[in-house]
Amino acid sequence: MFSLVSQVRKSQYYDSAVLMQLQKFLSKLEGVLDVGVLMGTDANKVVLIQSGLHTPDIDIVSAEDLIIVVKGIDDASASSALKQVDEFLLSPKQNKVGSYRPKSLDTAFRITPQSNWVFVSVNGRYAPEIVDRSLDTGKHVFLFSDNVSIDDERRLKEKALKKGLMVLGPDCGTAIINGVGFGFANRVKHGKIGIVAASGTGLQSVAVAIDNLGEGISHGIGTGGRDLKEEIGAITCFQALNFLNDDPQTELVVLLSKPPAIKVVDKLMNQLLLMSKPVIILFIGSKPPTRQLGNVYFALSLLDAAMLAVQVLHAKADESGMNKCPRISMLHHQQYVRGLFSGGTIAYEVMCILKNTLNDIYSNIPLEEKYRLKDISQSHGHTILDLGEDEFTVGKLHPMIDNDFRIRRIVTEANDPTVGIIILDVVLGFCAHSNPAGELADVIAKVINTAKTQGRVLSVIALIIGTENDIQNSKVQTDALYAAGAIVVNNAEDLVLCVSQILSPTNVDGSVLSGFAVDAESFTKTISVINVGLELFYEALISQGVPVIQVSWCPPANGNERLIKLLNRLKKDNEDAERDR
């Protein structure tokens, strides 16, 4: 036998930390078997029912109400527990010991002018105003609150951007700034790896794994989960990347996010390739184009991101094996890439990697059916052909053996004034043509020169697959193609990197990154915080020896919605009257 009693408190604001403590307090009273202290949402009602804490009050509470249910061994115990709720809520224990707590944000600003960060964890509807005022006084914001509108987020981040400040969030759970853990953060070694993360537990997982692998974190910058959406355009992410690229402590950057908006990815990839430090990317759940493109590495999981970061950090930068290709200025209308491949898999892989930087690649072996070339004898836009497919080889030898058709097609493509780059593979080995470069070099030199006489710059990139022990000798083949004016690479990644670099010559000076300059000093000088909201942030900072002041903040009208509306109306009436006067 047992007894169930309950109590409903209508439309009242309670700090959720206080509610948890109330639940624990009541649970420990004598004769109490179980306690539910929950807001009356549908989900919470189910929890109460599944826990055997169902009283008739469940049917009358709404999502804005608090319900307290006590299950006791008898009526006396249950009722006695319920009677102690008021006492607990009014107890001075709920107003934690500690230093002086200003009641307003302005007082906090005034008495701690040295503070450089404001932590905001109040209910989302009150957060934007606090962020606004914090930015006005020149402080960075760690914005834990969720339920902030995306319009507010964009407005606040654009404002911060103009002031060289950062808004980490909204819904930002974790950051590590200069060794100090913000919000949910682990105690990890201070070190050389910077992290930018649109995911709190992602940041925690990677930081912990890096720590386990013996390396440390310079800064871990949370951006909030929506920062890489198109509406926000990754403002905080770009600020953080820029900052970490300049930060002398940071030698390598890890970027974590769910897959960003396509437009954001394009912009981001261009930026990342311009950074002077290696970058590890993990877009959780999406397919990376490859493992490495220049200084950018693609990870497949949180653990993999950490392992890859440590591996790249330990490796010398010059061991990457990636070539840089010469800068080439093409005419603006020479935008198209034409690929003439003898190896089907090589052509396919090149398309797989290229599609991350190039849109709409047509082919006879397309990645998507909509990009199937209607007429294989006529290239269209960007076109990559597998010349080894049946349709090209009826009654003919494979293009690895017989170069005749490919040579004719190189001429055709080169004569198209919209073509800027011709790419091709040269596969060496047994059974292949005994000297493919010997035949291809002539036509390559010819088409490059012809284009030149017509005022165009045509680039030819050859991907050689072969060893120096092959009868054709990869070195001899490379030299011949190089002498003819071709760029020579040995893998699809280098080929794509060359194509990307040729097609975006204007990005070279890294101009897009500038303009997001953040006041770096505030990240490295002593951190001093004003905390508005959850006390646990205050306590966590105190435990790390960080100067912090807690604002004893309460929502207007103690969170009573009707009262707030009334107050707002009065305020507006007053303002109107003021204006009319």
Site string for its own copies, 397-436 (x = CB under 8 A): xx-xxx-xx--x---x------------x-xxxxxx----
109 vs 181, beta carbon nearer its own copies? 181
Stretch that binds its own copies, among 73-81, 89-97, 349-357, 521-529 (CB under 8 A): 349-357
Q: Determine whether 413 is exposed, middle or buried from the number of CB atoms within 10 Å of its CB (0-12, 13-18, 19+).
A: buried
Does position 266 interact with its own copies (CB under 8 A)? The reply is no
Least distance CB 101 / its own copies (angstroms): 19
In contact, 174 and 184? CB cutoff 8 Å: yes
**d(C-alpha 503, C-alpha 454), whole Å:** 20
Least distance CB 577 / its own copies (angstroms): 38
Least distance CB 332 / its own copies (angstroms): 27
**d(C-alpha 189, C-alpha 195), whole Å:** 13
146 vs 266, beta carbon nearer its own copies? 146
Among 276, 329, 469, 514, the residue binding its own copies under the rule CB under 8 A is 469
Does position 377 interact with its own copies (CB under 8 A)? The reply is yes
**d(C-alpha 279, C-alpha 281), whole Å:** 6
The structure tokens listed for 523 are 């990240």
Among 79, 91, 149, 345, the residue binding its own copies under the rule CB under 8 A is 345
Site string for its own copies, 350-369 (x = CB under 8 A): --xx-------------x--
Least distance CB 556 / its own copies (angstroms): 19
9 vs 101, beta carbon nearer its own copies? 9
Does position 566 interact with its own copies (CB under 8 A)? The reply is no
Among 492, 513, 529, 548, the residue binding its own copies under the rule CB under 8 A is 492
**d(C-alpha 129, C-alpha 146), whole Å:** 14
Among 106, 391, 442, 573, the residue binding its own copies under the rule CB under 8 A is 391
Does position 442 interact with its own copies (CB under 8 A)? The reply is no
245 vs 257, beta carbon nearer its own copies? 257
The CA–CA distances, whole Å, from 29 to 16, 24, 33, 61 equal: 20, 9, 9, 25
Does position 292 interact with its own copies (CB under 8 A)? The reply is yes
Size of the site for its own copies (CB under 8 A): 106
Strand partners, 548: 529
The structure tokens listed for 247 are 């930060």
Residues 16-35 that bind its own copies (CB under 8 A): 16-17, 19-20, 23
Least distance CB 411 / its own copies (angstroms): 8
Least distance CB 211 / its own copies (angstroms): 5
57 vs 493, beta carbon nearer its own copies? 493
In contact, 325 and 497? CB cutoff 8 Å: yes
Does position 527 interact with its own copies (CB under 8 A)? The reply is no
Pairing of strands 140-143, 167-168: parallel
- Judge if the upstream peptide bond of residue 170 is cis by omega within 30 degrees of 0: yes
Does position 298 interact with its own copies (CB under 8 A)? The reply is yes
SS3 349: helix
Does position 339 interact with its own copies (CB under 8 A)? The reply is no
**d(C-alpha 541, C-alpha 182), whole Å:** 8
Least distance CB 197 / its own copies (angstroms): 9
Least distance CB 296 / its own copies (angstroms): 12
Write the single-letter amino acid at 505. P
448 vs 464, beta carbon nearer its own copies? 464
Least distance CB 512 / its own copies (angstroms): 27
454 vs 467, beta carbon nearer its own copies? 467
The CA–CA distances, whole Å, from 527 to 114, 517, 581 equal: 9, 19, 47
Least distance CB 477 / its own copies (angstroms): 12
- CA nearest to 27, candidates 67, 55, 63, 68: 68
Does position 55 interact with its own copies (CB under 8 A)? The reply is no
471 vs 517, beta carbon nearer its own copies? 471
User: Among all chains, which residue has been given the structure tokens 């992290």?
Assistant: 195
Write the single-letter amino acid at 493. E
Residues 79-138 that bind its own copies (CB under 8 A): none
Pairing of strands 296-298, 459-465: unpaired
- CA nearest to 329, candidates 437, 203, 238, 420: 420
SS3 228: coil
Site string for its own copies, 140-159 (x = CB under 8 A): ------xx------------
Strand partners, 4: 71
457 vs 476, beta carbon nearer its own copies? 476
Least distance CB 527 / its own copies (angstroms): 14
Q: What are phi and psi of 20, to 5 degrees?
A: -60, -45
The CA–CA distances, whole Å, from 398 to 76, 257, 404, 411 equal: 92, 44, 10, 19
Stretch that binds its own copies, among 90-98, 391-399, 547-555, 570-578 (CB under 8 A): 391-399
**Full strand arrangement of the beta sheet holding 140-143:** 167-168, 140-143, 117-120, 529-532, 548-551
The structure tokens listed for 369 are 């059916």
Q: What is the chain's Cα-based Rg?
A: 32
336 vs 537, beta carbon nearer its own copies? 537
Q: What angle do CA 276, 280, 285 make, to 5 degrees?
A: 145
Least distance CB 181 / its own copies (angstroms): 4
Among 156, 209, 272, 460, the residue binding its own copies under the rule CB under 8 A is 209
Does position 301 interact with its own copies (CB under 8 A)? The reply is yes
In contact, 195 and 203? CB cutoff 8 Å: yes
Residues 529-548 that bind its own copies (CB under 8 A): 536-537, 540, 543-544
Site string for its own copies, 179-208 (x = CB under 8 A): --x-xxxxxx----------xxxx-xx--x
SS3 366: coil
Among 57, 211, 227, 247, the residue binding its own copies under the rule CB under 8 A is 211
Residues 228-247 that bind its own copies (CB under 8 A): none
In contact, 530 and 177? CB cutoff 8 Å: no
